[in-house]
Amino acid sequence: MKVTERTEHEVAARLGQIQERLWVMQAQQGDPEAFRSLVNRYERQLLYYLMRFTPNPEHAADALQEVWLTAFRGLKNLQAPEAFRVWLYRITHDKILSLVRREARKEEVIEALRNEPAAEAFCEDHRAEDAELVHRALSSLSPEHREVLTLRFLEDLSLEEISEALRCQPGTVKSRLHYAKLAVRRFLEERSHE
């Protein structure tokens, strides 16, 4: 690279940094066009980054939306506009960790349902790839049943912690958990015969 080309490249990079700081400051003042410019500048890069951690494009796109929502809400608190890029990647990193944990918890739910005596017969015929079906099964539950399954298997709360969080007796939690597992099993069995 010639000296003039390198100098031109450095000048262009510096102008890009100045433009980004300006957009950050304008967005902090509530300018939607400035925020949109920041989104346009980083969206493709962030999506690529997220896709390295999940093979599911929908999950990556959902996580990207969460990144932008978090950035939008927190932008006013960013003290140094020049730190925007690093700050944005920190938010994205946090969303990746959350996404990976969420995916791992879904697999734990499937595995836990497989290990239940009431679900053993069904689960012998199904694999972890049925995560979407299990997700739909969870969505079909009543709010009370979905809540206990979510708190137990996705949030990893103990029965006592669930009891405290829901302000009900441990026996009620056990009962809801039992019936929720049976309902998921029935849903999965019905779909397996379709």
pLDDT value of position 97? 79
Higher pLDDT, 20 or 123: 20
**Exposed (0-12), middle (13-18) or buried (19+): which is 42, by Cβ within 10 Å?**
buried
- CA gap 29, 83 in Å, rounded: 17
Domain boundaries 116-192, corresponding CATH code: 1.10.10.10
What mean pLDDT value characterizes the chain? Answer: 80
Domain with CATH 1.10.1740.10 in the chain: 3-100
Residue closest to 106 by CA, chosen among 55, 48, 149, 51? 149
Query: What are the CA-CA distances from residue 179 to residues 32, 71, 186 (Å)?
Result: 48, 40, 10
pLDDT value of position 108? 67
Domain with CATH 1.10.10.10 in the chain: 116-192
Architecture category of domain 3-100 in CATH: Orthogonal Bundle (1.10)
Query: Model confidence over 80-109: pLDDT tens digits?
Result: 998 898 889 889 888 887 877 777 766 666
